[in-house]
Amino acid sequence: MKRFSYTRPTEVSEALAEAEGEDVYFLAGGTNLVDLMKENVERPRHLVDITHLPLDRIEEVGSGLKIGALVPNSDLAHDPRVAERYPLLSLALLNGASPQLRNSATTGGNLLQRTRCYYFYDVATPCNKRDPGTGCQAIGGLTRLHAILGASPHCIATHPSDMCVAMAALDAVVHVESASGARTIPFEEFHRLPDDTPERDTTLEPGELVTAVELPPTRFDKHYTYLKLRDRQSYAFALVSVAAAMHLEDGVMTDVRLVLGGVAHKPWRDRDAEAFLSGKAPERAHFSDAADVVLAQARGQGANDFKIELAHRAIVRALDQAARGSPQSITDKRIA
C-alpha cells in the first residue's frame, strides 16, 4: 500500500476543509477503498477518515426518510421504518455482500463503491477507468460481470451495488456538501455511463462529500421484489438483478418501477418500460414485452451474451413476483 497522511475530523466542516487538493480521499467503512489501496488501484496522498462525523442517523423528513451517509448497510436494512415502508431497500441490502461487510459498509460508501471488473483491479493490465487513455482489456476478455447495456468502446464495467438498484427504483435523492456549499442530486443523475470518461463513476465534483440519501414517501410496501441472480447463492455480485415495484388498482398496474443491476455502468432504470406497463393488467405477456423494451439495445460482449436472455427472464419473473406480492426470499433460494 502506498503511504499516505491521515486525519480524523469530528465535524463535517473540518472534513470538507481537508478535502482540497489532489488525491485526497474520504474513508468511511473501508470495505472497498482499503481493498483497492492494498491493490494499488487507489493511491490516496491524504486520507480524511470521516467515520467520526455525526452522519450516522436516520431521520424522518416529511413522510420520507433521510439516511445519514455513515449509516451501516446492516442498520439500514434492519431499521424498522425502512423494513416497513421501504422493504425493497431492505431486501436489496440483505442480498449484498456478507453480514460482516454490511456491518462496516456505509450508505455513502455503497453509493461510491467501484466496479469489480477484474481488469480494473489488476494494475498489470491497461484500464481506462483506472488509468485513462490506456485502453480496455475487458473488451474481448473475461466479461461475465460486464455490461450489456450502456457500455462504450472505452469501458464495459458494471456498477456492483444492490442497494443502489433499489434506491434508483425508489426515486432517492443524494445530498452532497463541499466547502463551497450543499446541493442535491436525483439518484438517476448520480451515477453516469462510461462514454469516453470511464474514470468518472459519478457526477460528484472534486471535494464533494455525500452526507445523506433521502427517500421520498412511497407505497411500495406490498408489490415489490429484488431478484438477484449470481454464480453462487449468497455472498457474490449479481450477474443480473432486478428491482421491481408497482401499485395495483382495479386490476391494472400503476406507478411501475423497473431497475436492473449488474448489467450497466449504473443502476439501469428504464422509464419507457415502466410507462409501457402502466395501465396494463399484470400479465406475463406484458412483462415479456416490457423486457423486450428494456433489452432492445442490449449488446453482449461474447462471453456474457447469456446475460441478455437471463435478464429477460429475470425481468419477467421479478415483475410477476411483484404483482403477486411475493418478494424473493433471501433464505429460500428457489425462485418463486
Partner 1 sequence: MYRFPQTVPKGVETEDAIPVRLVINEEPMVLDVPPWTSLLDLLRHRLALTGTKKGCDHGQCGACTVLVDGRRINSCLKLAVSLDGAEITTIEGMAGEDGALHPLQEAFVRHDGFQCGYCTPGQICSAQGLLNEGHAESREEVKELMSGNICRCGAYPNILDAIEDVLNDRVSEPRMPE
Among 54, 99, 140, 325, the residue binding partner 1 under the rule CB under 8 A is: 99
Chain-centroid distance of CA 153 in Å reads: 22
Check binding of 78 to partner 1 (CB under 8 A): yes
How far is Cα 104 from Cα 192, in angstroms, rounded to an integer?
Answer: 26
Check: CB of residue 300 under 8 Å from CB of residue 182.
no
# chain residues binding partner 1, by CB under 8 A:
31
Check binding of 118 to partner 1 (CB under 8 A): no
Among 12, 14, 43, 51, the residue binding partner 1 under the rule CB under 8 A is: 51
Contact segment (CB under 8 A) with partner 1 among 43-51, 132-140, 216-224, 288-296 equals: 43-51
Check binding of 83 to partner 1 (CB under 8 A): no
Among 14, 35, 221, 289, the residue binding partner 1 under the rule CB under 8 A is: 35
Label the pairing between strands 173-178 and 268-269.
unpaired
Check binding of 335 to partner 1 (CB under 8 A): no
Task: Name the minimum Å distance from CB 139 to partner 1.
Answer: 25
Positions 207 through 266 that interact with partner 1 (CB under 8 A):
234-235
Check binding of 144 to partner 1 (CB under 8 A): no
How far is Cα 140 from Cα 142, in angstroms, rounded to an integer?
Answer: 7
Contact segment (CB under 8 A) with partner 1 among 23-31, 148-156, 203-211, 263-271 equals: 23-31
Task: Name the minimum Å distance from CB 157 to partner 1.
Answer: 18
Looking at the Cβ atoms of 1 and 296, the one nearer to partner 1 is: 1
Task: Name the minimum Å distance from CB 287 to partner 1.
Answer: 28
How far is Cα 279 from Cα 248, in angstroms, rounded to an integer?
Answer: 9
Check binding of 98 to partner 1 (CB under 8 A): yes
Check binding of 197 to partner 1 (CB under 8 A): no
How far is Cα 303 from Cα 46, in angstroms, rounded to an integer?
Answer: 39
Interface residues toward partner 1, by CB under 8 A? 1, 3-6, 8, 27, 30-31, 34-35, 37-38, 47, 49, 51-52, 74, 78, 97-101, 103-104, 234-235, 330-332
